[in-house]
Structure formats: C-alpha cells, structure tokens
Amino acid sequence: MTDVQSKIKEMAEHTFGTWNWQKAWKSPMLVTDAEGIYFYDAAGKPYIDFSSQLMCSNLGHKNPAIIEAVVRQAEKLPYVAPGFVTESAIEAVEALRGIMPSGLSKFFFSTSGTEANDGALIMVRQSKAPAYKIISRYHSYHGATPAGLAFTGDPRRGPAERARYTIGGVRFAPDCYCYRCPFGLEYPDCRVQCARYLDYMIKEEGNVAAIILEPVVGTNGRLVPPPEYFPLVRKICDENGVLLIADEVMTGWFRTGKPFAMDNWDVLPDIMTTAKGCTSAYTPVGITAATGKVADFFEEEFFCHGHTYAYHALTLAAIPPAVAEYRKLVDSGLLTRGAAYLKEKLYEVAAKHPCVGDVRGLGHFWGLEIVKNRKTREPFDVKADKLSGKPLMTGKIAAEAMKNGLYMAAWYDTLVIAPPLIITEEQIDEALAILDKALEVGDREAVSTDAEVSRSSEF
C-alpha cells in the first residue's frame, strides 16, 4: 500500500461516509485538482464532470472571478455575527435582486439547500398557523435534516422514518411522471390529473399550509411537467389559501436554461429555496427567498430562526461574481447552443441502446431511465432496491463510464446528465462517446425489442 493509499484509508476509517454503508467507505477516490469541466485523480487522470459533482458546479471548476472574490473577502472580513451587515451581504442581495423572479425579494441566507428548506418550513408554519401540513411528492428530495427528510419521498426517507426522527404533518401527492403516470393516463388526455388531485387532497386533508415541489424533479428522475402543470398548481394553491414552495436547489441557476426552472412555466412561487448553483458550489450558501405575502407577516412577528453562519460574509462573496459569470455565459450564446447540442446528441445516443427506456430533460438537466425491456418498460431496479445493497444496473453503467474517464451520478433507475453549463460541443461529443460505450453494459442484459426510446419531456 502506498503512503497516499494508507492516508486515504485512515481518513475513511475516521469519518462517516455520506449516504452509504460504512463498510463501503474504505477507499474513496482522492481528487487532487479540477479545472473547467474536468477533475483529476492523484495520478493525474482526467474525468469529465458530467453531473457537475452533485449538480452544483454549474460554472465548472477553477473559475478565476469567483476565486478572486472569495480570496479578497477572506483577506478582508471572512466572518462577523449575522446581526451585523457586511459589504459582502449588501452586494449579494443587490446581485440576487437583479436575477431572482421579481416578487421574490426578501432573503434568508444559510449554508445548504437543506437549511434553505428548513427556513421555508419555519416561514410557512409560523405564518400559516394553525394550518401546518405540507404536501410533497414521492419522487422528491428536499434535504437531510428531520424536516428535509420528512418532505423527501425518495428511499432515504425510509431509514429516517424507522429511526423516527422526521417531522410530522407531511403528505405525499402523486408525481407528474409522464413515462410512468401514476393514474395510468397519457398526456394530454390525462388533463394533468396529477395537478388536479392536489385540489382534492387539500380539501380532504384540511390544515394544509403549503405544497413543496421541485419544478423539474432532480435526483429522483428529471421529471419535466407539461405546460399546464404549474399554472394549474398555482391556481389550486391560490383558491385554497395554500403557499407554493418551489425547491430550486438543483434546478436553479440556468440548469434548465432559464435563471430558475419555474421561469419555464412563468409561475411565481410564494417561497423559493435555492443553493448549489448560487455560488456554483465555490462556497456553501442556501437561500430562502420569499414574496411579500410571506415576508410581511413577520413585520409584527418574531422570526424564530437563525444560525451562527447565517449571512456568512465569506460564503456570500461568491454570489455576485457567479451571477456575473452566468450573465456572460448567456450573452456568449454557449448556454443555449450547448443545451440544444446536448439534447440532439443525447437523443441520438439513447435511441441506439435498448436499455434506455426514456430520455427526458430541459437545458443541461437530463435523465436516462434505464430499463430491462423498452417495450413493457420493465425496470432493472426499483425504489426498494436502492437501500437493499443489491448492485444496480445504473451503478454498473456509471462505473464503466468512470473507468473510461466520465463521471456521472446514478440513481436507482436513472443516470444523471447534468454537465457544467460551460461545456462545449466538442466536450459533449467526448463525453457522449464514453456514455455510448458504457450503455452497452445495460444492453447486454436488456431485452431486444422493436420499441423506440420514449421522450417524455417532448410536450
């Protein structure tokens, strides 16, 4: 064992691996450098970052403008208590007000997406009391705290519920999952039943304070709703006096082409939470943004929330340069060009592989749903398999891609295609050539049929 290998082993031995069996956290990969869309292991081998790490490094690695701003802030004033104002916070708010949907004009700053959603919960439950119930959906991830996991519909809620540390009052609604519609209907004949059902739920439940939704479901499928979905959800919320929370932790910051994914539907939520791309992950920031409807309540109320690191000056220093870099990227035309090219080429690759059942997404945010049988849509693996320890087909495909220099996050049924937004056409070709080869791993165990790949986000 080399010196480096023994140091990695020692580090792993003395830390908890996240979302993992600890027996599997023995020799994680050491990453020593990253630049642009690539990161490098200790031997200097490059990997294309085809998932922007955890769908957060939107502007790629080693962006000089962001690094310079953070270094400057570190030298000047890294931290003061959140009861003071810093120039860093003033500039972050100014930058945000120029890019956030107008109406979302009051912010709370924390240090993660999870905390951004915790902040939303506090705003909702304080302002809507005695209503307290929150409606979420099964295909969702909203964070790692007792509140975040309670809102979460994905397999990680299981252990949290068994250990009884989630919060109460959360109800789950049917997903807007057109490839596997929970009502067994087809768009447009379905008349977006999944949205209409929310009205029924709210009225039957009573005491519903808010609905929390990922505009395009992230980890749990890159599920893109049809054009009618969000206008209808907005109407149902308004008619029933329920707040709409858009969790844009993953979908925000041009990931889906627009500054925020809700902009694709032109619908304004009452609260928007975001994190990840707001600093392109150079510093940890979570943002809970509220409209006047929510914020005004607290004028005469005690806002019962805060953290030592809320409004942390060093972390907020990354926001203004990140906003400026996003604008430059839009102006250069690369954002739109890259997204169009990615879509076209991904459709081509997906069509060739019988193990790809559905290809769906928006902008630079795509999912390939991996199936055993494209015709019957029989999956290789299901939700319950995620925490069973069973080797998953998506994991096998992602491991094959990784061997060949392509990093791709994998869920139990989908592969995550979410590269940094700075990716060029040539780099997309480079990545898709590796993906094309890796998908053969799935093809070998898939049933060959004459069915075509589904494109469930084409409405």
Ligand X SMILES: Cc1ncc(COP(=O)(O)O)c(C=O)c1O
Binding site for ligand X (CB under 6 A): 54, 112-114, 117, 141-144, 214, 218-219, 247, 249-250, 275
Q: Please, what is the minimum distance in Å from the beta carbon of residue 305 to ligand X?
A: 16
Nearer to ligand X (CB atom), residue 38 or residue 141: 141
Peptide bond into 159 cis (omega under 30): no
Copy the structure tokens of residue 40: 């490098």
Q: Please, what is the minimum distance in Å from the beta carbon of residue 250 to ligand X?
A: 4
Q: Please, what is the minimum distance in Å from the beta carbon of residue 101 to ligand X?
A: 17
Nearer to ligand X (CB atom), residue 218 or residue 420: 218
Q: Please, what is the minimum distance in Å from the beta carbon of residue 95 to ligand X?
A: 20
Q: Please, what is the minimum distance in Å from the beta carbon of residue 125 to ligand X?
A: 18
Nearer to ligand X (CB atom), residue 91 or residue 247: 247
Nearer to ligand X (CB atom), residue 246 or residue 355: 246
Q: Please, what is the minimum distance in Å from the beta carbon of residue 413 to ligand X?
A: 16
| Cβ contact 330:363 at 8 Å | no
Nearer to ligand X (CB atom), residue 250 or residue 392: 250
Q: Please, what is the minimum distance in Å from the beta carbon of residue 155 to ligand X?
A: 14
Nearer to ligand X (CB atom), residue 280 or residue 454: 280
Nearer to ligand X (CB atom), residue 144 or residue 314: 144
